[in-house]
Amino acid sequence: MDFGLQETERELCDLAESMLRDFSTPERLLKLEESGLRVDRELWVALKEAGITTIGIDAEHGGTGLGFGEACLVLEQAGRTVAAVPLLTHGIALQTLQRAGALEELRRFIVAEGWLAASARTDRGNGLQEASGRLTGTVSAVPYAPESEAFLLPARAGGGWNLYLVPARQPSVRIEGQLGTDQSPMGQLTLEGAQALKLGDAMLLGWLRQRLIAGSCAIQSGVVEEAIKLTTAYVSEHEAFGVKVGTFQAVSQRMADAYIDSMALQLMSRHVASLLAAQNDAVADVMAAKMLAGDVGHRVLASCQHVHGGVGHDRGYPLWRYAVAAKQNELAVTSSSEAAAALGAVIAAQPALVAL
């Protein structure tokens, strides 16, 4: 089987990687982290001008006309460079607006200078309630909430969950800054009768959640691939006992296992992206990919840091950013254990999914 990319996809990956690498140098990322808000606004403007932020949006609505699969290829490049931009949350939020038919809002946020923040959490961290078209309550750990233009948030309405668009700039919205494991900005939102536009019900919320998970898996694929690249370069040059570390059998075998893990995750994440590009729902495959992304990220980064020795934990060396990014992606949207429980529930309800 040929798992290679098509010419258009390769060109897109090359463009995205070139732009992201030019801006996401270790020195530049360090300055952003020290500034208190890990967002590269200059890079964000460049990506918007190049149309990278609207991949997945139909051309008739102001997008590039490419699909979800291509959007995930770009997210892989964001993972490889640990770029400080909200590509995942903004891109999926725009696609959700398009899915909901909120075309006026979609066009407005495509041209806006800032970004959209999206959360799909319906656990104890989300206490939002809807009443008469207004939202009240608190939701925590919303990615890139500080300084965002608006939020896509679930809230309870009656006996179930709906998805709402909440403008950020209103007196009834208060944002308390939080910090992700990877130093990315997050926020706890407190809403006191905030105006909100209902986008859809639990079905649209599930649509959003699956794509946020699939996107995080694509980012994780890029993270582990680049971590392996850094590590193989290090062990090919660094010496111990007068020989290259990479010539030790244990090291070469461990990195070979990491490479196999990396390729398995890449294949699975691209498989899920292609499924979601062609159909609305692929929850079993998405949850399987999420489990794999969490496990692979943990194993690969542990191996990479181990064979680096102490250098792997040094903040003056780039590997640590990939380690914390892998942990952030492991827990993004949902955890591996929660994904396993969700997958089990799907299989119990539809045994034919795993029938031989």
Tens of pLDDT along 245-273? 887 889 999 999 999 999 999 999 999 99
Same-domain check for residues 279 and 192:
no
CA distance 180 to 228: 23
Query: Is the pLDDT confidence value at 2 over 90?
Result: no
Q: Are residues 331 and 242 in the same domain?
A: yes
If asked whether residues 301 and 213 sit together in one domain, one would say yes
171/262 same-domain check: no
Query: Residue 8 in 3-state DSSP?
Result: helix
Last residue of a domain, one of 79, 96, 112: 112
162, burial (CB in 10 Å: exposed 0-12, middle 13-18, buried 19+): buried
Is residue 2 in some structural domain? no
Q: Domain end: 200, 227, 246, which one? A: 200
User: What are the C-alpha distances in Å from 278 to residues 203, 275, 290?
Assistant: 17, 5, 19
Q: Is the pLDDT of residue 315 over 90?
A: no
- Among candidate residues 246, 170, 180, the one with its CA nearest the CA of residue 39: 180
Q: Which residue, of 112, 146, 181, is where some domain finishes?
A: 112
> Is residue 173 domain-shared with residue 72, that is, in the same domain?
no
pTM (2 d.p.):
0.96
What residues make up the domain containing 188?
A: 117-200
- Do residues 186 and 61 both lie within one domain? no
- 152 found inside a domain: yes
Let me know if residue 1 belongs to a domain: no
Q: Are residues 14 and 64 in the same domain?
A: yes
Q: Which helix (DSSP H) or strand (DSSP E) does residue 99 occupy?
A: helix 87-100
Both 48 and 142 in a single domain? no
Shared domain check, 342 and 209: yes
Q: Check whether residue 122 and residue 182 sit in a common domain.
A: yes
Per the structure, how many domains does the chain have? 3
Please state the rounded mean pLDDT for residues 38-66.
95
Q: Does residue 92 fall inside a structural domain? A: yes
Assign residue 103 the CATH number of its domain: 1.10.540.10
- pLDDT tens-place string over residues 110-169: 999 999 999 999 999 999 999 999 999 999 999 999 999 999 999 999 889 999 999 999
Domain of 246, CATH number, reads: 1.20.140.10
Residue 53 lies in a domain: yes
Is there a single domain that holds both residue 286 and residue 236? yes
* Angle, vertex CA 129, rays to CA 126 and CA 134, nearest 5: 125
DSSP lists the bridge partners of residue 243 as 240
CB 121 within 8 A of CB 143: no
The CATH number linked to 122 is: 2.40.110.10
